[in-house]
């Protein structure tokens, strides 16, 4: 787990921005012994938020929408993975590659 100070340094954020992002629900760090802790995923999310704001000029409403869509996408991917895990033991030979190929994004 990453401490608040380490998180601020690695994410290149100031304390006020961090508090604002937590209040907006963009970051939801768990508290352990009264201290917030962050994960590598939190760090990646903070870096994305920073890049969206600073490099691409996305406003707060846009960031909220983007994060919501990303969360939905990750949830769907997790659900698909779980579904494929459940299907694996029950499927006849040769079915899984065909089923898995249908779930891959087309380019």
Helix axis angle for 15-24 and 4-11, nearest 10°, is 100
pLDDT at 69: 96
100 falls in which pLDDT band (50, 70, 90)?
Answer: low
Instruction: Report the 10 Å Cβ neighbour count for 65.
Output: 12
Q: What is the pLDDT of residues 26-51, one digit of tens each?
A: 999 988 888 999 999 999 999 999 99
Sign of the alpha-carbon dihedral angle for 43, 80, 68, 19: negative
Q: Longest C-alpha distance within the chain, in Å?
A: 56
Phi, psi of 92 (to 5 degrees): -70, 160
Domain 1-58 has CATH 1.10.10.10: no
Tokens standing for 70?
């990303």
Please give the C-alpha separations between residue 77 and each of 39, 53, 86, in angstroms, as whole numbers.
20, 26, 14
Q: What is the residue extent of each domain of the chain?
A: 1-58, 59-107
């Amino acid at each position: 787990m990453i401490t608040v100070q380490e998180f601020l340094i690695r994410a290149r954020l100031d304390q006020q921005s961090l508090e604002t992002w937590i209040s907006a629900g963009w970051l939801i760090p768990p508290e352990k012994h009264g201290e917030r802790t962050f994960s590598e995923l939190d760090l990646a999310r903070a870096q994305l938020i920073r890049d969206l704001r600073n490099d691409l000029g996305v406003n707060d409403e846009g960031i909220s929408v983007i994060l919501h869509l990303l969360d939905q996408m990750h949830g769907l991917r997790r659900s698909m993975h779980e579904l494929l895990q459940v299907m694996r033991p029950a499927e006849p030979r040769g079915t899984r590659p065909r089923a898995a190929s249908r779930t891959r994004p087309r380019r």
